Structure 1
Amino acid sequence: MTSPQATFDARPLTDPVDAAAVRAFAAELRSRPSSRTSASTVIGIVAVAIAAVVLIPVMVSVIVSIASLGGSPSAMAIPLVLIVLLLAAAGVMIWMGVRNAQATRYRLHRFAQANGMSYEPKVADPPLPGMIFSLGRSRQSTDLLRGTRPRFVEFGNYQYTVQSGKNSTTYRWGYVAVKLDVPLPNIVLDAKGNNGFGSNLPASFQKEQRLSLEGDFDQHFTLYCPAGYERDALYLFTPDIMARFIDNAAQLDVEIVDDWLFLYTQRKVSTLDPATWAWLFGTVGALLTKFDQWARWRDERLVAENPGATASAAVPGRALPFAAPAGLLTPPPGVAPQGRRLKRGGTWLPLIIVIVFAAFWFMSRMN
């Protein structure tokens, strides 16, 4: 990945591509052991097959009816021609869709190469600890771009399907995953700029875990941290870091969990739009320069597990009154169990909807 302040090379996203190179790259992807036919291709093939199965009997029935009524051969040929044209048009649309998808993957691959990253077309059930990665079924990340310098960063699109009775809904997200130096408490920043009627996050958290920060940070984010970790959150979110999030990530939801930081959005992250990549690169670059200070955080609750560490040394930001021997300054990196995950809360929205419908029903009966 390019350095935070460097301009990135967006030309591979829009430059013309060589058709032979696109086909060669598509063949290389198919040769990978984990490669599978894309869902869109499968759906298109199935759609054409169903159309053929349905339309051919209809065509035969129409021709037989015309023949029984004494129709001319030319009249009988019209339905046949129309159906053949429809099937041909469907086939062309599928072919164009596959070709465009192959070109998109090739462009993203070239873009990744030009900016010191790697490209992966798809990962099923990605083993990431963020809140969106454990929901539903048919979980998969697509069009992943990964960089390893100055630290591991992954850009990707993600989807999962939730079954509700006979109906199912597919949810789509874009995300950026940044590997941190040490595990940190589970902290969520719910961006207010991308909310509609309430939070757009797929999880809710107990309101007792809300923490108000200084300045105008609360106008942009609602911050949740585990109970008892308020002082730790204040240590991590110093005024300069809060300013970085406000200036660069006010439209993104943020989650810190284990030794990962996730940025979430309900739009594609991995795309052919240079403006989107400029925004994302700028956001990640602005945050990366501040993560080094997070590496110094230690959980004072783990002091008991490290008898050589002093209690005062374990408190983030507190100076020792003496020079302690090397290795005895802080507890080991990690988070105590009570800080590893936020406590989830229920949502009142379904109950409110039920109450509103019940009120309308009662009023209609009264009239």
Structure 2
Amino acid sequence: MRRGIRRRAALWTLATDLGWEYAADVSDRVWGGSIDEQIPRSARTTLDDVAAPEPTPFDSAQRVFSVGDGEGASLHTTRMVRIPLSAEAPRITLRSRRIAGALSALPRVPRGWNELTLEGGFSDVFEVSVPDAYEVDALYLLTPHLMAILLDHASGCDLEIIDGTLHLYLSPVDLTDPAQLSGFLAVVGVLHERFARRTALYRDEAAPPLDAEAHRRAGDSLSAAARALDTRTRFGPILAAVLAPLLPLALGLVWMQVG
């Protein structure tokens, strides 16, 4: 408890010094993204939220969520970042193959037919999933330069674009440590700059046409298909939940046989 109080005090001081906002617990806030979509509110918490208005706008919090039920449940912690983009873009998911990140831990993952193979070994590092018929749009957004930046700065992260927001999932970060804070801000800064530049130029040709004099609202710039990504159930967590209660019984039977 004392460590938690000291950490929160240090984060509050850091946020105050940098002109950020800080909140210790924002679990009741709707963050959006795959975690909110797949994990019940009772099985997730959102702590140590910091929000930076400038020069690079973002907000970030530590998210803890549980996958599965009972003895087979697994607990996962991620530092999540939301970065506003210049415009809406198709739903694109990038799961790092180098870590068992937050998106790979969720009960559902994108189906294989939504996976996009990219050049230069990029697909060896990231599994990229896009909506049906939006492969060309993804190639427009994920330029070779942007892919090189992702390989250099975010190979150990999961990312997803949802509407007008880039969601970034990292391993837990101690923002009160100067070295970790510097690395964190560098990653957020370069991703904001590059993704914002690409999305600013993007237009969904399949979006419903609007009257020239109509006021464009948030959500008008994408088709429904651009927002949807087919998913499949991961059977590993289900098997773990089923088998976990049987493990003590199995060990007991083995012990009896040995005895």
Per the normalisation by structure 2, the TM-score is 0.79
Amino acid across the alignment from 1:258? D
Cα distance in structure 2, aligned partners of 1:272 and 1:278:
10
Match for residue 188 of structure 1? 93
Q: 1:219 aligns with which of 124, 128, 139?
A: 124
Match for residue 172 of structure 2? 268
Cα distance in structure 2, aligned partners of 1:351 and 1:153:
35
Matched, 1:114 2:17: yes
Matched, 1:129 2:61: no
**Cα distance, 1:271–1:351 mapped onto 2, change above 3 Å:** closer
Cα distance in structure 2, aligned partners of 1:276 and 1:122:
22
More strand by proportion, 1 or 2? Answer: 2
**Mapped contact 1:144–1:270 kept (Cα < 8 A):** no
Structure 1 residues 114-172: Cα deviation after superposition (integer angstroms, max 9, x where no partner): 22322111102321221112303333211111111245301210123456257755432
Match for residue 133 of structure 2? 228
Cα distance in structure 1, aligned partners of 2:221 and 2:190:
25
Amino acid across the alignment from 2:11? L
- Runs of 5+ in structure 1 lacking a partner? 1-96, 309-325, 362-367
**Mapped contact 1:220–1:250 kept (Cα < 8 A):** yes
Structure number, greater radius of gyration: 1
Cα distance in structure 2, aligned partners of 1:250 and 1:285:
16
**Mapped contact 2:96–2:156 kept (Cα < 8 A):** yes
State the superposition RMSD in angstroms.
3.0
Q: 1:146 aligns with which of 27, 31, 51?
A: 51
Cα distance in structure 2, aligned partners of 1:151 and 1:273:
20
More helix by proportion, 1 or 2? Answer: 1
- Runs of 5+ in structure 2 lacking a partner? 251-259
Cα distance in structure 2, aligned partners of 1:305 and 1:177:
29
**Mapped contact 1:298–1:333 kept (Cα < 8 A):** no
**Number of aligned residues:** 236
Cα distance in structure 1, aligned partners of 2:185 and 2:7:
20
SS class of match (2:179)? helix
Q: What stretches of structure 1 move > 6 A for 4+ residues in a row? A: 350-354
Structure 1 residues 51-75: Cα deviation after superposition (integer angstroms, max 9, x where no partner): xxxxxxxxxxxxxxxxxxxxxxxxx
Matched, 1:279 2:166: no
**Alignment identity in percent?**
29
Cα distance in structure 2, aligned partners of 1:167 and 1:243:
39
Distance apart, 1:206 and its partner CA: 0.8
Distance apart, 1:193 and its partner CA: 1.2
Amino acid across the alignment from 2:231? R
**Mapped contact 2:67–2:106 kept (Cα < 8 A):** no
Looking at both structures, which has the greater relative contact order when contacts are Cα pairs under 8 Å and sequence separation is at least 6? 2
Cα distance in structure 1, aligned partners of 2:141 and 2:99:
24
Matched, 1:157 2:62: yes
**Cα distance, 1:207–1:168 mapped onto 2, change above 3 Å:** closer
Cα distance in structure 1, aligned partners of 2:66 and 2:193:
36
Per the normalisation by structure 1, the TM-score is 0.58
